[in-house]
């Protein structure tokens, strides 16, 4: 990977342990129809926009409901489940280390803003420390992952060229999106997904535990004025600023 100046994080499965909550909610719904939601299906859904994933699920499991029906039921379950999300091992420590070195950091999540708010209910101070947060329902995003739009927007909001950013992802669609944006990509896949599904990332890790900023291919200096200083993103030129 070329030396990077900023880091853009996916959220689900990278910063927050929400994938098990997605599985729990979805199994409750599909179980009523005698179906099982396992990784043979889930592996083709993670990281993608909710509508795309829902349509795939309904077709793959031949459910007698529409994608919209599924999303409505899931939304109700999310109100209870998502606020229980815990930080992924090593995620908070890594972001703290990046902040200490003055490295700009962003979140680029396919989750819509209301779902993002649910997931981060008990992590407000942590997520407030990210310089930019871009959610999947931002009107400036024309296409969801695996298209590069969300990563290009995050880089633009940071004021850093995409080629000088490194993305951290857990899903094949997310790896594809970051690569299409021209970013270096570090993948931290769920063990059930398997490393081979994200082998096209520049670096594949088992966990973020113990990962240091220098392990991410970051340049020796950041775009911030000094280590630990209050870096500010450039002024937004588009509608609906996400940071």
Q: Are 110 and 231 in contact (CB under 8 A)?
A: no
CA separation, residue 28 to residues 35, 72, 166 (Å) = 10, 13, 36
Catalytic residue among 12, 138, 190, 202: 12
pLDDT (average), residues 9-36: 97
CATH assignment, 19-84: 1.10.150.240
d(CA 31, CA 73): 13
- Please tell me which residue, 180 or 231, carries the higher pLDDT value: 180
Residue 220 binned pLDDT confidence (cut-offs 50, 70, 90):
low
Catalytic residue among 10, 52, 137, 176: 10
Question: 6-17+85-216 is classed in which CATH architecture?
Answer: 3-Layer(aba) Sandwich (3.40)
Token digits for 229? 């200083």
Instruction: Tell me if residue 138 is catalytic.
Output: no
**Mean confidence (pLDDT) of the chain:** 90
d(CA 18, CA 87): 9
Instruction: Tell me if residue 10 is catalytic.
Output: yes
Domain extents in the chain? 6-17+85-216, 19-84
- Summarize pLDDT for 69-106 with one digit per residue, the tens: 999 999 999 999 999 999 999 999 999 999 999 999 99
d(CA 33, CA 65): 10
């Amino acid at each position: 990977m070329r030396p990077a100046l900023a880091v853009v994080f996916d959220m689900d499965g990278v910063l927050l342990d929400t994938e098990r909550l997605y599985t729990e909610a979805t199994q409750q719904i599909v179980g009523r129809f005698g179906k099982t939601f396992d990784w043979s299906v889930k592996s083709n859904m993670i990281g993608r926009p909710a509508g795309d994933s829902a349509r795939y699920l309904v077709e793959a499991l031949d459910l007698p409901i529409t994608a919209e029906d599924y999303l409505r039921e899931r939304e109700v379950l999310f109100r209870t489940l998502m606020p229980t999300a815990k930080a992924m091992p090593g995620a908070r420590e890594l972001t703290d280390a990046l902040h200490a070195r003055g490295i700009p950091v962003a979140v680029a999540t396919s989750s819509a803003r209301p779902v993002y708010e649910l997931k981060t209910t008990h992590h407000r101070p942590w997520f407030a420390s990210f310089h930019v947060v871009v959610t999947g329902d931002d009107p400036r995003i024309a296409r969801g992952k695996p298209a590069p739009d969300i990563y290009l927007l995050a880089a633009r909001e940071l004021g850093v060229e995409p080629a000088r950013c490194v993305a951290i992802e857990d899903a094949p669609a997310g790896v594809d999106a970051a690569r299409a944006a021209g970013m270096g990509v570090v993948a931290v896949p769920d063990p059930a997904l398997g490393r081979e599904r994200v082998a096209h990332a520049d670096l594949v890790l088992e966990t973020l535990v113990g990962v240091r900023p220098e392990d991410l291919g970051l340049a020796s200096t950041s775009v911030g004025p000094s280590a630990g200083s209050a870096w500010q993103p450039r002024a937004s030129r588009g509608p609906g600023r996400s940071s």
